[in-house]
A and B are shown apart, each in its own frame.
Chain A
Amino acid sequence: MRDRLYFLLGPAFALTILFIVGLSFFAYEVPVALWAACGILGVAVFVYYTISQNNVTYVIKRSLESILTIWVIATLTFMLLRVLPGGPFDQEKALPPEVMANIEKKYQLDKPIYTQYWNYISGVAVADLGESYKYIGRNISDIVAETLPVSIQLGVYSLILAFILGIPAGLISAARHNTWVDSLTMGAAISGVALPSFLVAPVLILIFSFGLGWFEPALWEGPAYYVLPVIVLGTRPAAVIARLTRASVLEVIRADYIRTARAKGLSEKKILFKHVLKNSLIPVLTYSGPLAAGIITGTFIIEQIFAIPGMGKHLVNSVTNRDYPLILGTTLVFSLALVLANLVVDLLYSYFDPRIQLT
C-alpha cells in the first residue's frame, strides 16, 4: 500500500515539473492551478518520503541548524559590510553635510551599529529585508521577486541539460572503457571543464546568432532567446557530471554485487542500468547540491553577456554600489537555496543507497 502511494506520488510530481518546464520554455503562461498542484505534490512527496524513511527528527534537527546557519551568515555579512571602505552614498563630489545627515537619518545609518544590527536581524526574522539604497523606494523582496524567477528558469533549464548530457556521457564512456568512445567523450569533457563560459558565449553568439541567425544573442523573451545561455551555462556542469559519473561507474563495476549480478546471468544492459547506475550517482548527487544553489540564484557572467534580467546582476552590482540591504538580501537568498539544496541532497542519499543512515 505504502509503496503504491509512493509510486503514484513521485512520478506525478516529476511529470508536473516537466510539464511546467515545458510550458515555460515555449513561453506559455503557466496556470496558477498547475503551480498549486506542483506545490502540493512536492510537499506530499517530501512529507511522505520523510516519514517512510524515518527521517522526521533528522529533518527537524537540520531545519533548526539551518536557521542558525542563516543567522550566522547574516551577521557575518553585516559585519563584513561595515569593514568595507567607502559608504553607500559616497560620490565624486561630496554631498553637503546637511544632505548627508538627512540621508543617513532616513536609512538609520546615524544610529549606533548595534541598533542597526538589531533592526536588520529583526527584519530578516519576519522576512522584511528592507529598502534598497540604490533603487530608491524599492523593497529588496520586490527586487528578488522580480529577478529570481528569471534566474531560476535559466538555472533549471541548464541543470536539466547538464544531467541529460552528463550522466549518459559518463555511463557510455565507462561502459566502453579505454576505447575511442571513452577517449572522445572524456576529451570533450575535459575541454568543457577547461573552457571558461565567457569564451564559449562569444563563439556561440558569433556562429549561431550573427552568422546563422538561428538564435537571439541577448535578452530573455522566448525559446530563441533561451537556447544559447542555457547551452553556455550547462556545458561546464555537464562536463563535470560526465567525469564524476564515469569515475564512479568504473568503481562500482568492480563491486561484489555486480559480480553476483553477472553470475546470476543478467544481461550487461540490465546490470548497467539497474545495478550500476543508481549506485554510482552518489558523487553526482553531492556535486548537485551546491551546483543547483549557485546556478539557480543567478550567474552574473552569463546574465551580463546575454543581458538577462536575473538576480546574478544584483548579487555583484550591489557590492560595487555598497547597497547594503541588497547585498544582504541576495546573499541570504543564496544561502537559503544552498541550505535547502543540501538538505534535499542529504535526504536523497538514503534513496540512492539505503545503507546510508542519516543522523
Chain B
Amino acid sequence: MSSTITLEQPFDSTKSKKSSNSLWADGWRRLKKNKVAVVSAWIIVVTCLVGGLAEWLAPHPFDEQYIEHILQPPGSQFLLGTDNLGRDLLSRLIYGARMSMAVGILTAIISLIFGTLYGSVSGWLGGRVDSLMMRFIDILYSIPTLVLLILMKVIFDSIVLFENPELRALTGILAALSVVGWVTLARVVRGQVLQVKQMAYVESARALGAKGMWIVIRHVFPNILGPIVVLLTFQIPSNILYESFLSFLGLGLQPPYSSWGVLANEGWKSLRTYPHLMIAPGVALFITMLAFNLFGDGLRDAFDPQMKGR
C-alpha cells in the first residue's frame, strides 16, 4: 500500500510543475547555472552600455587634440595616455566600443533579416528554386571575402543614405559586412527549415488547411529560433573582427572616428616605442571577442542541447 503512494508522489508534487516548463524556461535555467556564460553576458552588457553612454563616460572628446600632450604615457590627466595627435586614448577607446559594438550588432540584425527570409523561402519551396537559390550562395562564397567586402564598401560608400556624419561613416562598412554575413545565416536557416518541414506537426497543420506562409510564421520559425539565436551570437564577434581587420588595414572606418581596429592600426605604427597604444585596444578587443564566444557557447549548450559541446 505504502509503496504505491511513494510511486505516485513525485508526479503530483513539485516535479510535475518543473516538467511542464517550456523549452525556453528550461534553457534559461541552464544558462543561468553556467557561470562563465553569465559573466560573459555581463561583460557584453557593460561594453554595450559604455559604448552607448560614450558622451557621458568619456573624459575627453574623441577627436580633441591636446597638442602639448602628444604621445603621453598613461598618467593622471590622461588615464591611458595620448596618441600621436594628442588625443586621449581612453576616450577613443570608449567611443571605439560604440563603433565596434554598433557594427557588430547592427550587421548581425541586417544579415539576420535577409538570411532568414532567403533561407526560409529556399528551404520551404524546395526543389528547383531551392537548388538555384543555393547555387547563388555557393557563388557568393567563392568570391574571396576580403575582395567582396572592399568592393561592397567602396560601392556603398558612394551612396549617401544618412545626414548624420557618424551614421554616414558606418553605412559602407555595415552594408559590406551584411552582404558577406547573411550568406551563412541563409544556409543555416535553410537547413533548419528543411528539417522542420518533415515534422509531423507541420504536416498536421497543412492537413488542417493552414496556408504556407502561416505555417512558416506560426510553426517553423518558433522551432528554428534556438539555432538562429545561437548563430547570431557568433556572428556579432565575427563582424567585430572583420570590421577591425578592415580598419586595421586602413580600409574600414575613416578618421577621425575610432573603432578598436582603427586604434590597433594607429598603435601598430608605433609598436616598438609606444606599445601602450596597441595594448589598450588589443585587450578591449580580445576580452569582447572572448565574452561573445563564451556566451555563444553557453547559449548553445542551454538552448540547443543536441549541439552541446560543439
Contact = CB atoms under 8 A, between A and B. Distances in A.
Q: Do chains A and B stick together as partners?
A: yes
Contacts of A73: 139, 142-143
Contacts of B142: 69, 73, 334-335, 338-339
Interface string A300-342: 1100110000000001100110000001001100110011000
A331 B143 contact: yes
Contacts of B272: 206, 210
B146 A199 contact: no
Interface string B11-32: 0000000000000000000000
A52 interface: no
Interface of A: 69, 72-73, 76-77, 80-81, 83-86, 190-191, 193-196, 198-199, 202, 205-206, 210, 243-244, 246-247, 250, 290, 294, 297, 300-301, 304-305, 315-316, 319-320, 327, 330-331, 334-335, 338-339
A335 B143 contact: yes
B158 A85 contact: yes
Contact of B289 (A83, A196, A246): A196
A191 B290 contact: yes
B147 interface: yes
B248 interface: yes
* Shortest 4 CB-CB contacts between residues of A and residues of B: A247-B310, A194-B289, A85-B158, A194-B290
B143 A304 contact: no
Nearest to A298: B144
A319 B139 contact: no
B282 interface: yes
B289 A84 contact: no
B231 interface: no
B154 A199 contact: no
B309 A300 contact: no
A330 B282 CA distance: 31
Interface of B is mostly: helix
B12 to A, nearest CB: 34
A316 to B, nearest CB: 6
A319 B285 contact: no
A72 B137 CA distance: 12
Given A85-B154, A202-B271, A206-B271, A190 B143 contact: no
B125 interface: no
Given A86-B154, A334-B144, 16 more contacts: A69-B139, A190-B290, A190-B297, A193-B289, A195-B286, A196-B241, A198-B244, A198-B264, A202-B282, A205-B271, A300-B249, A316-B146, A316-B150, A331-B144, A334-B147, A338-B141
B45 interface: no
Chain A interface secondary structure, helix, strand, loop or mixed?
helix
Contacts of B297: 190
B184 to A, nearest CB: 11
Contacts of A319: 147, 150-151, 154
Given A73-B139, A199-B264, A202-B278, A301 B309 contact: no
B298 to A, nearest CB: 11
A3 B138 CA distance: 36
Contact of B293 (A69, A194, A338): A194
A196 B143 CA distance: 22
A301 B290 contact: no
Given A69-B142, A84-B155, A290-B141, A196 B245 contact: yes
Interface in B115-160: 138-139, 141-147, 150-151, 154-155, 158
Nearest to A299: B146
Nearest to A327: B147
Nearest to A338: B142
Contacts of A206: 271-272, 275
Contacts of B249: 300-301, 304, 316
B54 interface: no
B224 interface: no
A287 B245 CA distance: 21
Contacts of B138: 69
A33 to B, nearest CB: 34
Given A194-B286, A196-B241, A300 B146 contact: yes
Contact of A315 (B144, B248, B268, B282): B144
A196 B139 contact: no
29 contacts: A69-B138, A72-B139, A73-B139, A77-B143, A84-B155, A85-B158, A193-B289, A194-B286, A194-B289, A196-B289, A198-B248, A198-B268, A199-B286, A206-B275, A210-B272, A243-B310, A246-B309, A247-B310, A300-B249, A301-B249, A305-B268, A315-B144, A315-B146, A316-B146, A316-B150, A319-B151, A319-B154, A331-B144, A334-B144
B58 interface: no
A297 B144 contact: yes
User: Which of A84, A196, A297 has the most CB atoms of chain B within a 10 A radius of its CB?
Assistant: A196
